[in-house]
Amino acid sequence: MDAKKWKERIKKAAETVGTYQEPFDDVITTLADMLAERDRIYIQYVEEGAHPLVEVISDRGQSNLRDNPLLTTWRSINRDALQYWRDLGLTPAGLKKIVDDQK
């Protein structure tokens, strides 16, 4: 999904749970950009065969298996994006914290 569609989806979700505020637009844009990049990386990962490990040749000529950099980056973006989802109240724990803080 592209960033524009992600932004619409995130904003709508925040409106649905009652956490949307206009000052959050920059955060929503950042999250949307991250998710669009994550989606592009995943598509590339699948197109390249979805191999979780890739062969890397060391400077000494030895063949070693390493985590696929695409998969590693995808996981990293997912982990970072989760914090944005929480901050916007779009996870159960994030929403609970916002509701509890408003009491």
Give residue-wise pLDDT tens across range 8-41: 999 999 999 999 999 999 999 999 999 999 999 9
Residue 80 has pLDDT above 90, yes or no: yes
Q: Evaluate if residue 50 carries a pLDDT over 80.
A: yes
User: Which pTM does this prediction carry?
Assistant: 0.86
Closest CA to 42 of 74, 4, 1: 74
Give percent above pLDDT 90 in the chain: 89
Distances (CA, A) of 77 to 22, 39, 72: 24, 10, 9
pLDDT band with cut points at 50, 70 and 90 for residue 51:
very high
Q: Cα–Cα distance between 89 and 72 in angstroms, integer?
A: 26
What's the mean pLDDT in 45-72? 95
